[in-house]
Amino acid sequence: MNARNFYIIATSPDEPSLQVNISGPYLTRKAAQADLSAAIDEAATIDPSARHYVYSISKIECRKPGVIQHMASHA
């Protein structure tokens, strides 16, 4: 895994400083875009208010898995 990868980021509409990496890492933006809809659906099963969040794809420096991958590895 690279130090800089693409992640799907959820931002609270009420608190823009609250951002969470929900899914990733992805090696390409295209891979993240292909998974965006499924990641939003999965986030909504964890927290129904996630449907109201603003989603974006960002290339950031991080080696931690997104929330969805983290939860799946502990299920």
Domains of the chain: which residue ranges? 4-61
Nearest to 22 by CA among 52, 48, 46, 1: 46
| pLDDT the model gives residue 6 | 94
pLDDT of residue 72: 65
pLDDT digit string (tens) for 18-62?
888 999 999 999 999 999 999 999 999 988 988 999 999 999 988
Q: Classify residue 27 by its DSSP letter.
A: S
Beta strands per DSSP E along 1-75: 4-11, 19-26, 54-61
What is the model's pLDDT at position 11?
94
**What is residue 69's predicted lDDT score, i.e. its pLDDT?**
76
